[in-house]
Amino acid sequence: MIIIKLFLFLAVLFISGSQVKNQNPRFTVVAFHDGEKDQAHESFDHEAEKWFTGMATKYKFSFKSTSDWNNLNPDFLSHCNVVIFLDSRPDSLSQRVAFQQYMENGGAWMGFHFAAFALTPSDFPQNWDWYHNKFLGSGEYKGNTWRPTSAVLRIEDRKHPAVKGLPEKFIASPNEWYRWQKDLRLNPDIKILILIDSTSFPLGTGPKQYEIWHSGYYPVVWINRNYRMIYFNMGHNDLDYENKTNRELSFTFNNKVQDKLIIQSLLWLAEGKKIRK
Q: What is the CATH number of the domain that holds 111?
A: 3.40.50.880
Our count of domains for the chain comes to 1
Residue 105 lies in a domain: yes
> Is the pLDDT assigned to residue 12 strictly greater than 70?
no
pLDDT of the residue at 38: 85
Mean per-residue pLDDT, 132-136: 98
Q: What is the pTM of this model?
A: 0.89
Residue 87 lies in a domain: yes
CA atoms of 127 and 59, how far apart (whole Å): 37
How does pLDDT run across 68-113, given as a tens digit for each residue? Answer: 999 999 999 999 999 999 999 999 999 999 999 999 999 999 999 9
Residue 49 lies in a domain: yes
How does pLDDT run across 171-184, given as a tens digit for each residue? Answer: 999 999 999 999 99
Q: Is 9 exposed, middle or buried (0-12, 13-18, 19+ CB in 10 A)?
A: exposed
pLDDT of the residue at 35: 65
pLDDT of the residue at 19: 28
Residue 89 lies in a domain: yes
CA atoms of 253 and 48, how far apart (whole Å): 7
User: Any idea which of 5-14, 25-34, 68-77, 240-249 has the lowest mean pLDDT?
Assistant: 5-14
pLDDT of the residue at 36: 63
Residue 164 lies in a domain: yes
pLDDT of the residue at 171: 98
> Is the pLDDT assigned to residue 241 strictly greater than 90?
no
Residue 16 lies in a domain: no
CA atoms of 50 and 64, how far apart (whole Å): 10
Residue 238 lies in a domain: yes
> Is the pLDDT assigned to residue 259 strictly greater than 60?
yes
> Is the pLDDT assigned to residue 246 strictly greater than 90?
no
pLDDT of the residue at 243: 87
Give the percent of the chain with pLDDT over 70.
Answer: 90
For residues 80, 83, 89, 90, the Cα torsion angle rounded to the nearest 10 degrees is 0
Residue 23 lies in a domain: no
Q: Report in angstroms the alpha-carbon separations of 148 from 151, 241, 252.
A: 10, 12, 11
- Domain that includes residue 155, residue range: 30-271
Give the percent of the chain with pLDDT over 90.
Answer: 84
Measured from the Cβ of residue 273, the count of other Cβ atoms closer than 10 Å reads: 9
